[in-house]
Structure 1
Amino acid sequence: MFSSHGPSVRELAVQGLSSVERGYDLLAPKFDHTPFRTPDRMLDAVEETLAQWEGTFGSGLDVCCGTGAGTGMLRRLCRDRVTGVDLSAGMLAEAGRVHADDDRVDFVRADARALPSALADSYDLAVSFGAFGHFLPAERPALFSGVHAALREGGVFAFPIGAPIPPGSPVWWAVAGFDAAMRVRNAVWRPPFVMYYRTFPLSGVRADLRTAGFTVETVPLEHFGRRADGAPRWRLVLARRS
């Protein structure tokens, strides 16, 4: 839920009528007081699972780092350099403030679909949280190829992905309605604000990761339990550069 320190309805409306970059620049100072920030429960689950399955890492890359919620997790998992990358200067400013006293953390302003060549072959672990709805399916190959290039041989790209929402459930109708509203908004208003909840299915993501050169496995995040059919509610995707 939004706290009293979060954005007003008017501020959210202005953000929603801006571009993705400008919208997050406006939201950045209050972003951590919104439900859009990745919950600590998710960060802790991913950190624990990565430590159990992979151990520790050399250097880490936080793709679409926002205000740096995942950067702190990387800092604990990685022995060496940790870099956060984001398109929004406002979000990077907040992340830099949070991690100002850590000389092993640096931030780079860049589009995740075109990561700078200076980052190539530099990282052992890359993570991303809560950002994939900002990428259309046709943009995933560029995103995944850039992360693949940034990783060293054997490096891992890790991110959580939720189980499909049962069709007809209240949550399904809510996210379907949101996506429909965003498509209408983007059809009649410029600049577009790309944010969709149902454009990142595991099957398509797995295929695009393999095309980019990754081997892919998934690990249940048992912290969030299982559905009635026994499937995990959340999985951790482990895509390895091979």
Structure 2
Amino acid sequence: MFSAQGPSLRELCVQALSSVERGYDLLAPKFDHTPFRTPESILGASAEALSDLGPFDRGLDVCCGTGAGMPVLRSRCRGRITGVDFSAGMLAQARTAHPDATWVRADVRALPFDGDFDLAVTFGALGHFLPAERPALFEGVYRALRPGGLFAFPLGTPPPPTSVSHWVTLGFDLAMRIRNAVWRPPFVMYYRTTPLAAVRDDLTAAGFTVTVAALAALGQHRNGGPRYRLVLARRPIDSH
């Protein structure tokens, strides 16, 4: 499905009926041949937006998957770059693709780091966390950063109700809620649970100072709003 190298419809169904961890373990060998991988356009625009915000020493990719975001860290960090994920299958693919990086298997809701990094990023992962789980994630990233460190991630803006994308994402989230209501274990993946205002509030509560930059290179919706923004959450220099 999607391409000759991608998963079949049967494989996707098995993955969708598994837990998040098991599902990604199964999908890992073919993940980079699906539309679920963060597009190069988003990675490139994010890297460009970060170019004037460094320099950074050590970098961390949170929910790194197969390592698509590692080139962003490599282009902006002078020191060691690390990826963390809870899927052994995804990490195995990442190690093969980026043998020069450090890889850690962990639940990112309980990150095992303390002031180790200058830059943290995440790409396309926030939909895997229920709103009630975001505070633990953001607090862990805050602890992982040194004072003055930056947590950055692209966030899509809601398409207007008149667009096809609006109804596609609405339908996907509805189908996922029905699936999780009738089938266990749950597979958490929603497109509409990370509005900017709520994400900003959770980051601020974790201690970050938050700004947002439009990723103009990724275009605009018909209403003139940017399709993507880069959220920039800075750990204050005088934090402890």
The answer for unaligned runs of 5 or more in structure 1 is none
| 2-structure distance, mates of 1:70, 1:51 | 15
| Structure 1 counterpart of 2:189, one-letter code | M
| Residue 73 (str. 1) matches residue 65 (str. 2) | no
| Residue 24 (str. 1) matches residue 27 (str. 2) | no
| 2-structure distance, mates of 1:2, 1:233 | 24
Q: 5 Å matches for 1:9-88?
A: 9-52=9-52, 54-88=53-87
Aligned residues: 236
Q: Tell me if the contact between 2:160 and 2:166 (Cα under 8 Å) persists in the aligned partners.
A: yes
Deviation at 1:232, TM superposition (A): 1.7
What TM-score results when the alignment is normalised by the length of structure 2? 0.96
Question: Match of 1:152, SS?
Answer: strand
The answer for unaligned runs of 5 or more in structure 2 is none
Question: Match of 1:69, SS?
Answer: coil
Deviation at 1:174, TM superposition (A): 1.0
Aligned Cα RMSD in Å?
A: 1.1
CA deviations 1:167-225 (Å, max 9, x no partner) are 24321111111111111111111100000000000000000000000000001111012
Q: 2:146 aligns with which of 138, 152, 175?
A: 152
Deviation at 1:71, TM superposition (A): 1.1
| 2-structure distance, mates of 1:10, 1:228 | 36
| 2-structure distance, mates of 1:231, 1:18 | 36
Question: Match of 2:213, SS?
Answer: strand
Question: Match of 2:51, SS?
Answer: helix
Q: Tell me if the contact between 2:41 and 2:218 (Cα under 8 Å) persists in the aligned partners.
A: no
Q: 2:110 aligns with which of 108, 111, 114?
A: 114
Q: Tell me if the contact between 2:85 and 2:107 (Cα under 8 Å) persists in the aligned partners.
A: yes
What TM-score results when the alignment is normalised by the length of structure 1? 0.95
Equivalent in the alignment of 1:90: 89
Deviation at 1:25, TM superposition (A): 0.2
Equivalent in the alignment of 1:162: 156
CA deviations 1:67-89 (Å, max 9, x no partner) are 00101220121000111000100
Give the 4+ runs in structure 1 shifted more than 2 A.
Answer: 225-231
Equivalent in the alignment of 2:167: 173
| 1-structure distance, mates of 2:47, 2:57 | 15
CA deviations 1:139-191 (Å, max 9, x no partner) are 01000000000000010000001112212432111111111111111111110
